[in-house]
Structure 1
Amino acid sequence: MNRRLTTAARRTLRKGFTLLEILIAVAIVGMLVGIAVTNIDKILGQSQEGVAKLFVNESLKASLVRYRIDLGDYPTTEDGLKALIVAPEGKQDRWRGPYVDAKGGALPLDPWGAAYQYRYPGTKNTESYDLFSVGRDKIPDSADDIGNW
């Protein structure tokens, strides 16, 4: 009976974790951190693509439509998206811009720090314009471009 009490007493006096329990917990946390770190690029990449799609298909599109209503046509490729901020030569009388909220007179950049690309008439949208982000690789007309086509 004494033996049972001493064993039971030892169990109740034992507080904290064993080394094995701590090592298992550290290993589990390490695996979870490893999984999160390897997927963070994918998660951030998806949100960057979403922002670029939003700019191409909503924000800049709305600005180009307002420009077209005021001036009767989209800006030329030569005038580019800059025509949304500054009146093109010879069109100052009908231009009612700026059509884009450009801080410091500069157009917004895509999530990868590159300028949005614009062509009118478009090569992919032959009846309209091409508006696109060059994507992560920053190379126009490559597979990762995010455009209005």
Structure 2
Amino acid sequence: MSSPRRRWPSATLVASALLLAGSGAALAFSNPSRSDYNAFAGRQLVSLATEEICQRQVLPLVLQLWISDCPRLIADQEPVLATLADQFTRRWNLGLASVYVIEVGGQDLLPSLRLPSYRVTTLGIAGQFLVLNAHSKDGDRR
């Protein structure tokens, strides 16, 4: 009686498995950290705040006259906005990628100036961030 021959997996199957494992390891290694997201969110909040406060001119006239360079003033607040983002962000670490949800705004800055409310859902994958959904409290999608 002859012993059954052992059949080895095909080269294509082995190569596919190695490629899949290597890709998974690369994604896990390059999954952005919370601090990477905070820096990204700080830049995004600067952009949103500049649009909402400076370009739409929601500042009271007295402040508009007093503040000569509104975009620069907000840009200088990026580290503070990144810290603010950290306080209001939830992260789901999926190993290969992360999902971040930030809900920020709605606070009164001055009696006649309210910080706009935003909810932003972002996917962090392969060292990059992709905004999946962004909207203001009134439902305005970006």
TM-score between both structures, scaled by the size of structure 2: 0.33
Select the structure of larger CA radius of gyration.
Answer: 1
- Greater helix fraction, Structure 1 or Structure 2: 1
Higher strand share: 2
Which TM-score applies when normalising by structure 1?
Answer: 0.32
